[in-house]
Amino acid sequence: MNKRFILGAIIAMLSMGISTGPLTSTILAADLKIAVVNVRAVATQIPQRDSIAAALQQEFKERGDELRAIEDDIKKMQAKGQADQLTMSEQQKTELIRNIQEKAGGFKLKQQAFQEDFKGRSDAEQRNMLILIKKAIDQVALADSYDIVLQAESVAYISDRVDITQKVIALMADPKFN
């Protein structure tokens, strides 16, 4: 019997809440080769993760340094105001407060833009990493002739013999992969 037809029928029955019974289990066991992969473990253990993090840090280093410098300036201005409070005229105090508020407002805007840009780039890199993980899973599944690969997070029990997580990690660690 056609594996795709059987699989489609089982998925349709499960999604409608119809019990597939022991017959289906026997058919699945006899005709389908199933594997399981822990995508989270792959994502945390692959070498690409470190290089992506380093690239992001390098890309945003200059802007981060600029934000720290502005924050330091604000703190220095506040410390100066505290230290010179008794000797400053009211006009000087008002001017200093306005300067601090202006700098703090600019800081908040730059900080928000920085966070949004960093999150956007980080999300894009994560999507790219997941695409690479999917590619590696597909290659392992094809090489080992698996019909179905399930995510470990959605499976109640996993036998070590069907867990391909380490194979996927090893493939992605290979410099030739990509």
pTM of the model: 0.69
Nearest in space to 121 (alpha carbons), one of 62, 57, 63, 40: 57
Domain boundaries 33-173, CATH class: alpha beta
* Interaxial angle between packed helices 90-143 and 165-173, expressed in degrees from 0 to 180 and rounded to the nearest 10: 110
The pLDDT tens digits for 72-119 are 999 999 998 888 888 888 999 899 999 999 999 999 999 999 999 999
Closest CA to 168 of 37, 31, 1, 12: 37
pLDDT tens-place string over residues 27-58: 555 678 999 999 999 999 999 999 999 999 99
For 113-170, the pLDDT digits (tens) are: 999 999 999 999 999 999 999 999 999 999 999 999 999 999 888 888 999 999 999 9
In terms of Cβ atoms closer than 10 Å to its own Cβ (0-12, 13-18, 19+), residue 101 is exposed
What are the sequence ranges of the domains in the chain? 1-32, 33-173
Q: Which two tokens stand for residue 129?
A: 């990493």
